[in-house]
Each structure stands twice: as structure tokens, then as C-alpha cells.
């Protein structure tokens, strides 16, 4: 599939098993999300532009390269928050802007309740962070908001994706690059991914119903 990048790496597959396992407790689940987020952004950042600089080491002058573009991290509340710190740690100069979008449980359509993007020039590259790409509604709504802001390049980073979500996002925004650890089988009647990993937000924040 064009603009869909599935990370077929032994470490990715190893951590993904723990992420899916219903026995994995919230603390361990968060650690898996963090590890997979780092691997995802490593892959997604391979085409970032750099500029050459010089730095003084304790012994001599060394040439090196640093990122030259403005990078924006766009976590979709609330589950996307679990991906921010590991990505931010690798791209410390990035900007973080939040979007609040939830899925109506009856219509399965996205509802935007929070958007805080700055006025003025948009970032050069926006990374949408959300552990799951299910129906594609939230991702499409996020892409629409970012395009209105003026972002020219958008990448979506997720742990798992459903074919329906990929089709929906690319039917509306075909240039958005999707980086994922797995393309799962399908959505069930409640629009949850199968086999999936359950509700990522609940598992990250230990907010599962008892």
C-alpha cells in the first residue's frame, strides 16, 4: 500500500506481543507504548532534512548534522499522550500541540472538543500520535485541522491500524504517511480493531472499568 510503512522488525514484533496481551498491566503497557513509539519515530524520521554544523569537542573541531525543519508532535487526546515523551526525548526541539478528538460510541464518528494550534506559520512536518488507527475518523479530522493550519507534510504514527482506517484516511488525505507496527484484520461491529489490543487509553491510564 502506498504511503503505508509497516515496521517488520524483530524488536517491534517482540514488544507488540506484550502490548496485545490482556495480562499486561498498565505500567508495563505504558513501557511497551514508549518503546514502540521510539522505534516508530526512528523509522518515520529517516527523511528529515539536516544542515551541517561544527562543534568543538574537548579535543578538536568536529563536523556534524542537525535537524533543520520545524517538527510538530500532535498527540490525539487522550491515548496519544502516552507516545509524546519517548518521541519528544528523541526530537527535543520539537513543538507539541494537542488535539482532543473522541469517537461517538453510537455513530462512531469523530467529535473534536479541543484544538490548540498557534497562529502564524505552521510547522514543516507534523507527526500525529495515536496508538490506534481504527475507523480513521480521528486521524482524518486531525489531518484536516493540520492542513487548515498550513502543514505541508503529515505523518501518522500508530501501534496498530485497521484496513478500514487506512482506507478512510487515504481516501481523504492520500499524502499522509502512515507508520505502524501492524495492519490488523478488521474492525468489529463496535468499531474496535481485531485482534487489536483493547482500549489503548484505558490501558495506558489504568482507567478500565471494574
Active site residue 107: yes
Active site residue 199: yes
Active site residue 103: yes
C-alpha cell at 117: 494550534
Which residue is catalytic, options 21, 107, 167, 175? 107
Active site residue 8: no
Which residue is catalytic, options 70, 78, 124, 199? 199
C-alpha cell at 87: 518521541
Euclidean distance between CA atoms 175 and 22, whole angstroms: 34
Instruction: Going residue by residue through the chain, which has 210 residues, state the pLDDT in tens, using 9 for 90 and above.
Output: 899 999 999 999 999 999 999 999 999 999 999 999 999 999 999 999 999 999 999 999 999 999 999 999 999 888 899 999 999 999 999 999 888 776 666 666 666 666 778 888 999 999 999 999 999 999 999 999 999 999 999 999 999 999 999 999 999 999 999 999 999 999 999 899 999 999 998 999 987 654
Which residue is catalytic, options 31, 78, 124, 202? 202
Euclidean distance between CA atoms 109 and 103, whole angstroms: 5
pTM for this model (two decimals): 0.92
The domains of the chain are located at: 4-47+69-202
Domain 4-47+69-202 coded CATH 3.40.50.720: no
Amino acid at each position: 500500500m502506498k504511503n503505508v510503512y509497516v515496521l517488520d522488525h524483530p524488536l517491534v514484533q517482540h514488544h507488540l506481543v506484550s502490548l496485545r496481551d490482556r495480562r499486561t498491566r498498565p505500567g508495563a503497557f505504558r513501557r511497551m507504548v514508549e518503546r514502540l513509539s521510539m522505534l516508530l519515530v526512528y523509522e518515520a524520521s529517516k527523511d528529515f532534512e539536516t544542515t551541517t554544523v561544527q562543534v568543538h569537542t574537548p579535543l578538536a573541531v568536529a563536523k556534524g548534522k542537525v535537524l533543520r525543519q520545524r517538527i510538530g508532535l500532535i498527540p490525539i487526546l487522550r491515548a496519544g499522550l502516552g507516545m509524546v515523551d519517548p518521541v519528544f526525548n528523541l526530537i527535543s526541539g520539537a513543538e507539541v500541540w494537542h488535539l482532543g478528538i473522541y469517537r461517538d460510541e453510537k455513530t462512531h464518528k469523530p467529535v473534536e472538543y479541543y484544538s490548540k494550534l498557534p497562529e502564524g506559520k505552521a510547522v514543516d512536518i507534523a507527526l500525529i500520535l495515536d496508538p490506534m488507527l481504527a475507523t480513521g475518523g480521528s486521524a482524518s479530522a486531525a489531518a484536516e485541522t493540520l492542513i487548515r493550519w498550513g502543514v505541508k507534510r503529515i505523518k501518522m504514527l500508530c501501534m496498530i491500524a485497521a484496513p478500514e482506517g487506512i482506507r478512510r484516511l487515504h481516501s481523504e488525505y492520500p499524502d499522509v504517511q502512515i507508520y505502524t507496527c501492524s495492519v490488523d484484520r478488521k474492525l468489529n461491529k463496535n468499531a474496535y480493531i481485531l485482534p487489536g489490543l483493547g482500549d489503548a487509553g484505558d490501558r495506558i491510564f489504568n482507567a478500565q472499568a471494574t
